[in-house]
């Protein structure tokens, strides 16, 4: 029998909570309050790793002795970070960029235990079909894009337009749970 130790989830993401719940992982949710501004010249992988670490370490101060999980996900196309849209027009702009193309979903994951921090990154490639303006508008209006990196949820309306996924599906949803499992239970040194 595998025992999953209780986690403190340093995230307010409903999708991360749903993923952990679906695999039977007990956790307490404590969203971190950090500045998520990109730094000038920061590469996307460095950005998501930094945010995951900052979230986990900020919350670990409140829960000494606990295992704290931080994560941050972003969408990258043409080496450009596509964060959460600011409004529906911005969501439509993002969806136009993604239409008919491959892009990458990056999630930085950090685990803090007893003052030690371990971090890693999961990369998954996703391809959208060519979308008409009507389809882009449908996805923007019905897909609840404003709290999602890249303005879409792969497990909801966007599934109508996804042609391919190369890598970890759960990473695209919002948490590469196999990576979390490995980091918490299988990696020495933490």
Answer whether residue 180 is part of any domain.
yes
Please indicate, yes or no, if residue 101 is contained in any of the structural domains: yes
Q: Which of 40, 92, 103, 49 is nearest to 71 (CA)?
A: 49
> Could you give the count of Cα atoms lying within 13 Å of 107 in the half-sphere of its Cβ?
26
| 3-state secondary structure string across 80-140 | EEECCCCCHHHHHHHHHHHCCCEEEEEEEEEEEECCEEEEEEEEEEEEECCCCHHHHHHHH
How many structural domains comprise the chain?
1
- What are the backbone dihedrals phi and psi of residue 136, each rounded to the nearest 5 degrees, phi first? -60, -45
**1 lies in a domain?**
no
Write out the H or E segment, with its range, that includes residue 169. Answer: helix 169-173
Say if residue 190's pLDDT is above 50.
no
> What is the structure's pLDDT at 56?
97
- For residue 99, give the CATH number of its domain: 3.90.950.10
Cα–Cα distance list, 162 to 73, 116, 124 (Å): 18, 38, 13
Range of the domain at 91: 7-186
Q: How far is residue 109's CA from residue 69's CA, in Å, rounded to a whole number?
A: 7
Residue 187: predicted pLDDT: 62
Distance, in Å, from the CA atom of 64 to the CA atom of 82, rounded to the nearest integer, reads 34
* pLDDT at 173 exceeding the cut of 50: yes
Answer whether residue 34 is part of any domain: yes
In a domain, 157, yes or no: yes
Given a cut of 80, whether residue 186 has pLDDT beyond it is no
User: Which tokens in the block code for residue 172?
Assistant: 């695209």
| In a domain? residue 84 | yes
Whether 101 shows a pLDDT value over 90: the answer reads: yes
User: Which positions are annotated as active-site residues?
Assistant: 72
- At 2 the pLDDT is 82
**Residue 188 pLDDT:** 47
Residue 2 lies in a domain: no
Instruction: Give percent of the chain above pLDDT 90.
Output: 82
Does residue 76 sit within a domain? yes
């Amino acid at each position: 029998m595998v025992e999953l130790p209780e986690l403190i989830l340093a995230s307010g993401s409903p999708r991360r909570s749903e993923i952990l719940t679906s695999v039977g992982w007990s956790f307490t949710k404590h969203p971190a309050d950090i500045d998520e501004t990109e730094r000038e010249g920061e590469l996307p992988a460095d950005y998501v790793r930094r945010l995951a670490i900052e979230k986990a370490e900020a919350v670990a101060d409140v829960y000494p002795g606990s295992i704290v999980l931080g994560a941050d996900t972003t969408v990258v196309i043409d080496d450009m970070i596509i964060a959460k849209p600011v409004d529906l027009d911005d969501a439509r702009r993002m969806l136009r960029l993604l239409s008919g193309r491959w892009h990458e979903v990056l999630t930085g994951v950090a685990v803090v235990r007893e003052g030690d921090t371990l971090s890693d990154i999961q990369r998954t490639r996703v391809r959208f079909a060519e979308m008409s303006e009507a389809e882009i508008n449908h996805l923007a209006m019905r897909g609840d894009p404003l709290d999602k990196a890249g303005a879409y949820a792969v497990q909801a309306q966007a599934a109508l337009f996804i042609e391919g996924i190369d890598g970890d599906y759960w990473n695209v949803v919002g948490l590469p749970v196999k990576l979390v499992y490995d980091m918490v239970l299988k990696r020495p040194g933490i």
